[in-house]
Structure 1
């Protein structure tokens, strides 16, 4: 009887353990028959120039050797000063939501003294050139325009240590940049089954990503895009507790099992 309970306990504990294969990124790195650690892995042959979409936020700066020419854009300079105190990440602070130029549902941004300019459907460089063209019509090449994405906004859901809207203040970021920026995944997340929801023009697509597979480095999803949603499913072991208290849960289970075995041993020994 005692042996039976002991083996049942061992099986329960073993089934509750998490294999390294389920939590290690970019596996088979040491498999020399498949991969070489020094192997050059080219990026997937896709266009990484992000196409601006409605509801994106862009930052537009104006500069001139004559300060009087940019007085009409003075509020923009004030915004830049305000940005210095703004944070980035999932804490809910997004200074550029108020300070940047939001693209409306028709793909337009409204610029002081210029009016509405349609930039949705263009990449950063094309949009910058269009705004520069509009500015030149007024100022005859005396005002320089800089336009860029106001950071990459994406959302994390599920087994992340920080869930919510995240911001990376770069114009290009990898999936691992996104993971690090959101506090990494919890130990209970299915790293071989992460879902990426991405916007494409008039709709969205759901893609499945395997963070355990080194092939991700050459995947078209290696780089994240603005408005991506990352969802990570929990493992079934979640029923034993969250990642923070999983060890405590297993210790409690082990203690209960030891107590039961001791009581059974005392009872059977006393008979």
Structure 2
């Protein structure tokens, strides 16, 4: 009888230990927001492997044509254009350069959008184009959300501006078993850097990675109970249920 009671006690203890505390799952419950540290300023910094769409416009339409080259595909048999021509995109190489029409190699890796526009204007005006208007867009701006979320994946961000909370929203939020202390993995100066963010703290709004950059990775770790469950056989739950029934029957029969 004592052995049966011991088994029941251990079973109950296991169930209780797997419960998640309310303090572990509620967002923004700790700390006060330091308003003087909150900033809505966000700037895009161009990096290697960014694919840029650069559009040059001006009153002189003929002058801008060489800088807005179309990208076309040709049929191998007829040598004719296939599909609708798209605007030429420029890939930043691992040294930070793009090869731009007439201007040649330009190093824009590490520059902001405004700095890149200023560089192009300085190169174009007045030698090639007078008073050009320049628009630059990253066509492959993506962030990745992995781990214990409802819908992990890589997401394309069309407006190049996203917060870590919005990225989690794209992934349909954390699972109840996801640890609220998450990681943001970012490449800086060709090195991977890991930032820790506690979703339970309001200090998240002052974090340097609150606004994500292109190719950032958000990782949510599972809690200990979830990790242990993953190590069990998929039939473990069935076996525990059967064991519980057997324990109950033995308890009744030994009274």
Among 58, 64, 71, the residue aligned to 2:65 = 71
Long gaps (5+) in structure 2: 72-83
1:24-63 alignment to 2 at 5 Å? 24-28=26-30, 35=32, 41-44=35-38, 48-63=42-57
Distance apart, 1:40 and its partner CA: 6.9
Equivalent in 207, 213, 224 of residue 225 of structure 1? 213
1:268 matched residue in structure 2: 254
Query: C-alpha distance in 2, partners of 1:44/1:57?
Result: 30
Checking the alignment, whether the CA contact within 8 Å between 2:58 and 2:129 is kept in structure 1 is no
- Gap runs ≥5 in structure 1: 29-33, 81-98
Q: Which of 241, 250, 254 is the aligned partner of 1:255?
A: 241
- How has the CA–CA distance of structure 1 residues 173 and 214 changed in structure 2, closer, same or farther, with 3 Å as cutoff? same
- Could you list the per-position Cα deviations for residues 1-42 of structure 1 after superposition, in whole angstroms to 9, with x for gaps in the alignment? 3544443332121111122222222123xxxxx64xxx6734
Q: Alpha carbons of 1:103 and 1:208: their partners in 2 closer, same or farther (altered >3 Å)?
A: same
* Aligned residues: CA RMSD: 3.2
State which of 123, 134, 138 in structure 2 corresponds to 1:134: 123
Query: Does structure 1 retain, via aligned residues, the 8 Å contact 2:34–2:203?
Result: no
TM-score normalised over the length of structure 1: 0.72
Distance (whole Å) between structure 2 residues aligned to residue 59 and residue 249 of structure 1: 53
Name the counterpart of 2:77.
none
Q: What's the counterpart of residue 75 of structure 2?
A: none
**Is the Cα–Cα contact under 8 Å of residues 152 and 169 in structure 1 kept in the other structure?**
yes
For 1:48 and 1:179, locate their aligned partners in 2 and report how far apart those are by CA, in whole Å: 19
CA distance in 1, matches of 2:209, 2:239: 41
Q: How many residues align?
A: 237
1:55 Cα deviation after fit: 2.1
Q: Deviations over 1:92-124 (max 9, x none)?
A: xxxxxxx63211122111223432221122111
2:98 to 104, 109, 118: 109
- Which 10-residue stretch deviates more, 112-121 or 8-17? 112-121
Residue of structure 2 equivalent to 1:176:
165
**1:216 offset after TM fit, Å?**
1.1
Give the number of the structure whose residues are more often helix, by fraction. 1
Deviations 1:125-156 (A, max 9, x none): 01012112323244331642112444642333
Deviations 1:74-94 (A, max 9, x none): 4169436xxxxxxxxxxxxxx
- Do 2:46 and 2:110's aligned partners in 1 also have CA atoms closer than 8 Å? yes
Contact 2:63 2:129 in 1 (8 A): no
Q: Deviations over 1:196-231 (max 9, x none)?
A: 222222423222221121111122221112222222
Q: What is the TM-score normalised by the length of structure 2?
A: 0.76
